[in-house]
Amino acid sequence: MPPRATDAHRAAVLGKPIAHSLSPVLHRAAYDALGLAEWSYDRFEVDEAGLPGFLEELGPQWAGLSLTMPLKRAVIPLLDEVSETAASVDAVNTVVFTEDGRRLGDNTDIPGIVAALREHGIEQVESAAILGAGATASSALAALARICTGEVVAYVRSEARAAEMRRWGERLDVEVRTADWTDAARALSAPLVIATTPAGTTDALAAAVPERPATLFDVLYDPWPTELAARWSMFGGAVVGGLDLLVHQAVLQVERMTGRSPAPLDAMRRAGEKALAER
> Could you report the per-residue pLDDT of 237-250, keeping only the tens digit for each?
999 999 999 999 99
Instruction: Please tell me which residue in 72, 103, 161, 231 is annotated as part of the active site.
Output: 72
CA distance 236 to 216: 11
* Other Cβ atoms closer than 10 A to 72: 23
CA distance 170 to 156: 17
Q: In the predicted model, what is the mean pLDDT of the chain?
A: 95
Catalytic site includes residue 72: yes
* pTM exceeding 0.85: yes
56, 123, 245, 268, 273 from 118: Cα distances, Å: 39, 5, 11, 18, 20
> Could you report the per-residue pLDDT of 164-210, keeping only the tens digit for each?
999 999 999 999 999 999 999 999 999 999 999 999 999 999 999 99
Please list the alpha-helical segments (H only) found in 173-264. 227-234, 242-258
What is the per-residue pLDDT for 215? 98
What is the per-residue pLDDT for 2? 44
